[in-house]
Amino acid sequence: MKPIDVRYNEGGTTRRLAARPRGNQLLVAMDGAAEVAVSLSRDDSGGWVLQTPEGRSRVHIVVDGQRILICHLGVVHEFRADDPARSSGPGAGDREVRAPMTGKVVDVAVKAGDQVEAGATLVVLEAMKMEHRMKATAAMTVVHVHAERGGLVELGALLVTLEPRDKP
């Protein structure tokens, strides 16, 4: 075990974890609070047993790219190292409509220059034999349509670029 002093984020909550080893335990101070002695050991099922003063719990942990996934009592928590640069301004996601899954474009309802209102259907995707309607999240202007009717798109593919409508 090594000393750590890191910031991690789960679902919008960032916590600072500072820890130092003592014997075969780890003293963890979370968000500057008092240190708590914990230990983590492998169990017989490929998981880990965590021991804290409050008791024992069993967790399963895998590292998946940028994420650390921890399953505890059936619920999976996704952690990422906190990166202030990642939190770009609000609305960035609204300007790019991306494919939420791999599928086929069955309809393109807009063209460049169109003014769309919040809730307007932009593109209809079909995946797993279900139709998914990609909709505008605000009143916007269509800048570019990248999707083509009948085309196949991968997860995350850019479908439509929008820009906020000039305020009158």
Partner 1 sequence: MTLRRVLIANRGEIARRVIRAARVRGIESVAVFSEADAQSPYVLEADISVAIGPPEARLSYLDPDKILAAAKATGADAIHPGYGFLSENASFARAVIAAGLTWIGPPPDSIEAVGDKRRAREVAKAAGVPTVPGYEGPDDDATLVREANRIGFPLLVKASAGGGGKGMRKVLDPAGLADAIASARREAESSFGNGRLILERCIERARHIEVQILGDHFGHVVALLERDCSLQRRHQKVIEECPSPSIDATSRASVLAMGVAVAKAAGYANAGTAEFLLAPDGAFYFLEMNTRLQVEHPVTEEVTGVDLVGWQFAIAAGKKLTLTQDAIASYGHAMEFRLYAEDPASGFLPQPGLLRRVKLPAGPGIRVDACAIDGMEVTGFYDPMIAKIIAHGANREEARLRLIDALRQTVVLGVRTNTAWVLDVLNSDPFINHTLDTTWAERELAERPWLQPSAPDSVWYALAAFLSAGRSDSVRSGSQGQSPKSPSPFDATDGFRLVRRSAE
In the bound complex, what is the minimum distance in angstroms from residue 127's beta carbon to partner 1?
A: 6
Backbone angles phi, psi at 81, to 5 degrees: -60, 135
Q: How far apart are CA 112 and CA 114, in angstroms?
A: 6
CB 107 within 8 A of CB 149: yes
Residue 59 sits in the site that holds partner 1 (CB under 8 A): yes
Comparison of 93 and 164: residue with beta carbon closer to partner 1: 93
Kind of pairing, strands 48-52 and 140-145?
unpaired
Comparison of 7 and 95: residue with beta carbon closer to partner 1: 7
Which listed residue (91, 93, 100, 119) binds partner 1 by CB under 8 A? 100
Q: How many residues does the chain have?
A: 168
Comparison of 86 and 144: residue with beta carbon closer to partner 1: 86
Residue 77 sits in the site that holds partner 1 (CB under 8 A): yes
Residue 120 sits in the site that holds partner 1 (CB under 8 A): no
| DSSP string across 49-77 | EEEETTEEEEEEEEEETTEEEEEETTEEE
Residue 135 sits in the site that holds partner 1 (CB under 8 A): no
Is 161 buried (19+), middle (13-18) or exposed (0-12) by CB count in 10 A? middle
Question: Applying CB under 8 A, which residues contact partner 1?
Answer: 1-8, 10-11, 13, 15, 17, 19, 21, 26, 28, 30, 36, 38-40, 45-48, 50, 52, 54, 57, 59-66, 68-77, 79-86, 100-103, 106, 124, 126-132, 155
